[in-house]
Structure 1
Amino acid sequence: MFGKWTKNIDEEYMNAEVTKIDDDDVSIAMDNQKEVDRKINNSGMLQKYSELAKVMYGMLKDYRRGIYTKVPWFTIATIAFAFLYILNPLDIIPDFIPGLGYIDDMAVITFGLRFIETDLHNYLDWKLEEQA
């Protein structure tokens, strides 16, 4: 049942959409952190991504400040795309549909994390070294 709605969200879709992200999109994602956090924490389905979202926002902030530069643009763009997708209430499955509205958001985050998992680990390692 869920597959029919999320079949359009796959690696090819993610790659195509992430390559469209530019610096202005990253700024929009950064400027809307509170709204993204609210949607993640109030959605039930996305709550398990709450801590990862904090790490991803931390990476975006450190990247934008120029203090963490060992990250490919694709990773930054993937994070921005995932957050912008969450912000969009009229995406593949509109968020206002009870019980189903966040399935596509979860799929986008899940695919995005598959692309950037190593970079997130590297960032966390760097944060630990910086604090030591």
Structure 2
Amino acid sequence: MSTLAQRGLQISKNALFSAFIGRASRLLTKPLKIAAVLNEAADKLVDKNSKDNKFVQLFHTGHTLVRLVRNYISGEYRQIHTTTIASGLGVLLYVISPIDLVPDFIPALGFLDDLSLISWFIGKFHAEITRFQEWEQTSAQTLTHADSAQGDRSLPAVAELGHS
């Protein structure tokens, strides 16, 4: 039996997925359409009934992928290859598509090909995903620090220091 990542590799070589990569490449110039794709993919990846099953990590990584593409499109994060973003967006398009190798209406199996493709993406682009997650943590700490400095009323305002 093949692993999820091996199955994802097979799907990534399929002509259907190649069509999604082509569509993703064309979408990269249309941020509003990408926003709709990201919202739909994030909604689909949410599993409200999950109680820490073995696929939770894949769901979290799927959400990381959504955030990665969103931050790339907004221009906040650009330390990644455009081909990686196109592949990631292609994966998300595949996830939200009703037309894929195993239809989503088939219980359990319907999402297995989606999870397989996400697993393949994780394996192939692990270093870039890790770098993005580190950037997210650093950015969050910087924002938290800046917000707390602005919100600290014990510090004098600039005008109070005579620097108006």
Taking structure 1 as the reference length, the TM-score comes to 0.75
Task: Provide closer, same or farther for how the CA distance between residues 88 and 2 of structure 1 changes in structure 2, counting only shifts above 3 A.
Answer: farther
Offset, 1:33: 2.9
Q: How does 1:56-67 map to 2 (within 5 A)?
A: 56-67=65-76
Tell me, yes or no, if the aligned pair for 2:41 and 2:95 is still in contact at 8 Å: yes
Counterpart for residue 59 of structure 2: 50
Offset, 1:36: 1.7
Q: Which has the larger radius of gyration?
A: 2
Counterpart for residue 156 of structure 2: none
Query: Once superposed, what is the RMSD of the aligned Cα atoms?
Result: 3.1
Task: Provide closer, same or farther for how the CA distance between residues 63 and 34 of structure 1 changes in structure 2, counting only shifts above 3 A.
Answer: closer
Tell me, yes or no, if the aligned pair for 2:8 and 2:120 is still in contact at 8 Å: no
**Separation in 2 of the partners of 1:39 and 1:46?**
14
Tell me, yes or no, if the aligned pair for 2:88 and 2:121 is still in contact at 8 Å: yes
Unaligned runs of 5+ in 1: none
Letter in 2 for 1:9: Q
Offset, 1:74: 1.8
Counterpart for residue 38 of structure 1: 43
Taking structure 2 as the reference length, the TM-score comes to 0.63
Task: Provide closer, same or farther for how the CA distance between residues 119 and 102 of structure 1 changes in structure 2, counting only shifts above 3 A.
Answer: same
- Secondary structure class of the residue paired with 2:92: helix
Unaligned runs of 5+ in 2: 143-164
Counterpart for residue 82 of structure 2: 73
CA deviation string 1:17-66 (max 9, x = no partner)? 27523141674443133332232224968554232222222221221121
